Every structure is written in structure tokens, then in C-alpha cells.
Amino acid sequence: MSGEYPALLRRRALSMLQLAERLLKEGEYDLAALHAEYAAQLYLKSLLFRITGEEWRGHDVRSLIGLLAYALEEKGLRTLAEEVMDFAKKNKRILAELEEAHTRSVYGAFQYSKEQAAALLNAARSIVELAKRIERSVFGDYD
């Protein structure tokens, strides 16, 4: 299962990202925001599993990013850990909004606009690209 599980999560994450893009084009902004958040968390969990060998629960994107930085530091990959923390610091606000989308898009009285959903989708894409760069650095791949 060691290689199958992260591959499954990555495939789901990339599918969620594509679905979020389609939903954004179709005007389903709340659902686009929700699927963007799912894409980010699933890809992070995939990478965390590859690095630590552990399954991670929950959907707190900022915590997953912090855990990723910690896991990289523990493996002696300080430069990559710093890259992750810099990303988190530079994107603090949008990461918090992406995290909130998990609940707000389903249960909240709030509706996302096209611009808001697009910003969250871009944040999710950025997280996936960061994770892919780390995978290439650590494992020589991301597929």
C-alpha cells in the first residue's frame, strides 16, 4: 500500500482540481471553492504520507502545511522546510480563506463570487505546485 495510497490521493487531488476548474466555469462558485480546498488537502496528505509513512486526518490546510514543514525539517531537508514556511507566511490570508471554504461553501449563509472562487482555486493550484516541487526534490518525481 505504501506507493498506492499516496498515488490514489494525488489522483483524487488532481481530479478535484479539474472539477473545481469546471465548476468555476459553470458558475458553481461555492462548489468550486469546496473542491479547490479538497484538492489542496488531498495533495498535501499524499506528500505527507510519502515523507512520513503516516496517514493524516482532518482538513486543516494550514496545519497540513505546518506538518509538511516539520516533516521536512525532521528529515534534514531544512531548505525545503523553509520554502514551505515562506509559502505559508506569504499566503497566510488566502490559506485561511481556503481552509474556511471546506465548511462555508456547504453550510454557510455566505455565497462565493466568481472572483473569490477563482482566488481560492489559484491558491489550491499554488499548493499543488509547491507539493510537486517538493516531491521532485525529495523523490525525483511527482507522478
Domain residue limits, the chain? 4-139
Residue-level pLDDT at 125 = 98
Helical axes 92-107 vs 78-90, angle rounded to 10°: 60
92, pLDDT greater than 70: yes
Q: Mean of the pLDDT values across residues 16-30?
A: 98
Using the structure block, give the residue that is written with the C-alpha cell 458553481.
Answer: 28
Residue-level pLDDT at 141 = 73
The residue type at 27: G
80, pLDDT greater than 50: yes
User: CA–CA separation, 90 vs 53, rounded Å?
Assistant: 28
Task: Encode burial over 88-123: b for 16+ CB neighbours within 10 A, e otherwise.
Answer: beebeeebebbbbbbebbeeeeeebeeebbbbbbeb
Predicted confidence band at 94 (pLDDT cuts at 50, 70, 90)?
A: very high
Q: Which is it for the CA torsion 47, 48, 52, 56, positive or negative? A: negative
132, pLDDT greater than 80: yes
Q: Mean of the pLDDT values across residues 4-13?
A: 96
Pick the CATH number of 4-139 from 3.20.20.70, 1.10.3720.10, 1.20.120.330, 1.20.140.10: 1.20.120.330
User: CA–CA separation, 85 vs 5, rounded Å?
Assistant: 26
Q: Among 25-29, 59-63, 85-89, which is the least confidently predicted range?
A: 59-63
Q: Mean of the pLDDT values across residues 74-87?
A: 98
Residue-level pLDDT at 56 = 87
